[in-house]
């Protein structure tokens, strides 16, 4: 059987700015995995080093500094036990225009301390990288059930 060089790539490669390539095992996916673990372990300080000093983290369009992020994410452990992520998929996109973004899709789960009920939510986040640090990140999820559960507290 003969194959041509054209068969090496299943999809065409172009040089458009928003094209590029994706990896699911690189230093950036490892840093996002570190961040996710730090959150679940309530050890946010251990992941602070992935962010630039003036990084901005958005949670559903609410802008947080790194310090505010660390406080806010740790506060969830006041209301929930056994916080964990499942079905996590992390991949980094290297765009032709030089931008690097890591995307992460996940299921969040926590057990409400007040009544022992488990809550599960789907989430998505991206991290933008420059010089090996996250300079901006965005986390999207529907906070309705999360906030309603802690409002009962």
- How confident is residue 129, by pLDDT bands cut at 50, 70 and 90? very high
In a domain? residue 47: no
Contact 94, 20 (CB under 8 A): yes
70-81 pLDDT, tens digit per residue, is 999 999 999 999
- How confident is residue 10, by pLDDT bands cut at 50, 70 and 90? low
Residue 28 or residue 7, greater confidence: 28
Count of the separate structural domains present in the chain = 1
In a domain? residue 27: yes
Q: Is the pTM of this model over 0.85?
A: yes
In a domain? residue 122: yes
Domain that holds residue 138: 19-42+54-152
| pLDDT above 60: residue 3 | no
Residue 139 or residue 147, greater confidence: 139
In a domain? residue 123: yes
In a domain? residue 134: yes
We report the CATH number of the domain holding residue 106 as 3.10.450.50
In a domain? residue 78: yes
In a domain? residue 14: no
Q: What is the mean pLDDT of residues 134-146?
A: 95
């Amino acid at each position: 059987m003969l194959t041509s060089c054209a068969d090496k790539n299943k999809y065409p490669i172009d040089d458009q700015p928003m094209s590029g390539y994706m990896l699911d095992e690189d230093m950036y996916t490892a840093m996002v995995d570190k961040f996710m673990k730090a959150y679940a372990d309530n050890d946010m300080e251990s992941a602070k080093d992935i962010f630039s000093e003036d990084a901005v983290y958005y949670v559903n369009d609410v802008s947080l500094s790194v310090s505010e992020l660390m406080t806010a994410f740790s506060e969830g452990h006041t209301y929930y036990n056994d916080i964990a992520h499942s079905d996590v998929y992390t991949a980094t996109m290297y765009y032709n225009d030089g931008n690097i973004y890591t995307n992460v899709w996940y299921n969040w789960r926590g057990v409400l301390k007040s009544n022992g009920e488990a809550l599960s939510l789907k989430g998505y986040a991206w991290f933008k990288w420059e010089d090996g640090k996250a300079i901006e990140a965005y986390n999207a999820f529907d906070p309705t059930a999360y906030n309603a559960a802690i409002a009962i507290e």
